Amino acid sequence: EKYVVSYPVQAEHDNLRLDQFVMTCMPTLSRQFLKGKIEKGEVVISGRKPPHKSSVKVHYGEKVTVTTHNDNVIEEEYW
């Protein structure tokens, strides 16, 4: 089973690193877990070709989409 969630980048998050932005949206997941997802191309910034680096900056108006598979590592309610 696959989970997909998208977050719009608001003005207050403009110019944040991708890993920092995703952590603000999904605070229950560890930074290391998210970094792995970013490196695998499972975190996508709209209009940009993945995979991205954790340090890439997100900008106001973009949308960040996170995809994961239900491998019993995460709890459903977090998605």
pLDDT in tens, the chain (79 residues): 788 999 999 999 999 999 999 999 999 888 898 999 999 999 999 999 988 999 999 999 999 999 987 666 555 444 4
pLDDT for the residue numbered 73: 58
Buried b / exposed e over 9-25, threshold 16 CB at 10 Å, is beeebeebebbebbbeb
Q: What is the DSSP letter of 16?
A: -
| Separation of first and last alpha carbons in the chain | 12
Q: Tell me the C-alpha distance between 58 and 38, whole Å.
A: 13
